[in-house]
Amino acid sequence: MAKPRPKPKKVKYNREELGAGVKALFNKANPEQSEEDQPQKELVQELANTIVQIPVAHIETNPHQPRNEFDEDALQELADSIQIHGLIQPITVRFLSADAFQLISGERRLRASKLAGLEKVPAYVRVANDQEMMEMALIENIQREDLNAMEIADTYLRLKEEFSLTDEQLSSRVGKKRATVTNYMRLRKLPPEIQQAVVTRKISMGHARTLAGIEDVKIQLYLFKKTIQLGLSVRALEKMAAEYSGTKKGRKSSGKNLPAEYENVQQNLRNFFHTKRVDLKLKGKDKGQIVISFSNVDELNNLLDRLEE
């Protein structure tokens, strides 16, 4: 009978080593040992909830950073606070080597720390591949950094395209409903003028989503300008969009003309689904059908998203 294989010897890491840095920790993992015998698992578990001090010079920027714009005045205010109190909230980095780390999240804090003249910053160390790194950066920034809607839309879109994710897989990865993810990505179809207004927060995500549901770009821009000029609320914009759709586009029905009350129902359904492809058909006095047409999978998903909401 074969003897049971001895368990790999567990390596203990003391807090002094962790506080001093991670170089000694990773040096404990002898590269000549087999993968099974290396204490990598214990190391990762130890680092997961431990804050270490890492030289700023050893941290490279994150190519997948979803935040693109930083308010310089707010950045300087944070730097002034860090000079007095230090960096209270650690950043998160990915381990590359004993002297090299890649930022996962916390770029604003890292930039402010550099302005404050810090040589080392507190950090959580993670081991992650590129996809996990992008997901972690997005999720942590959404929770802590208040990304604008366009930055969130950009990162959702990159995750979907670069890693060939379906809408369902993407929503599962980021912990959001599919309708929420789809609504963000639809913002990328808006005219640049409206997208920029979302970035600068001249209009809200609710405004942008209402505008994104309008098919005609000219109408989008017209209602956008009205929203800015009149300071419309989201609800007021939704009402104006519905009224404009009813008066400017005209009311269309398939087959014979519908009674006025049924015309109103049909138009309300079209406004709700943000599509003209909704037809109410009467069959007799009190019977009929509601027919919703779509021409591709994206249109179907948008219809399902509206029903889910």
Mean pLDDT of 60-85: 81
Mean pLDDT of 42-65: 75
Mean pLDDT of 226-253: 76
Specify the higher pLDDT residue, 225 or 125.
225
Which residue among the candidates 16, 35, 72, 107 is catalytic per the annotation? Answer: 107
Q: What is the pLDDT of residues 234-246, one digit of tens each?
A: 999 988 888 776 5
- Locate CATH 3.90.1530.30 in the chain: 15-127
Q: What is the pLDDT of residue 271?
A: 76
Which residues on adjacent β-strands are paired with residue 288?
282
Whole-number Å distance between alpha carbons of 90 and 229: 42
Q: What is the pLDDT of residue 67?
A: 67
Q: What is the pLDDT of residue 62?
A: 75
Taking a C-beta distance cutoff of 8 angstroms, is the pair 109, 74 a contact?
A: no
Specify the higher pLDDT residue, 6 or 128.
128
Taking a C-beta distance cutoff of 8 angstroms, is the pair 104, 126 a contact?
A: yes
Taking a C-beta distance cutoff of 8 angstroms, is the pair 134, 64 a contact?
A: yes
Active site residue 107: yes
Mean pLDDT of 162-180: 82
Specify the higher pLDDT residue, 78 or 244.
78
Specify the higher pLDDT residue, 304 or 81.
81
Mean pLDDT of 165-194: 86
Q: What are phi and psi of 302, to 5 degrees?
A: -65, -40
Mean pLDDT of 266-277: 78
Specify the higher pLDDT residue, 302 or 196.
196
Q: What is the pLDDT of residue 285?
A: 66
The CATH number of the structural domain formed by 15-127 is 3.90.1530.30
Mean pLDDT of 197-218: 90
Say what the pTM is.
0.48
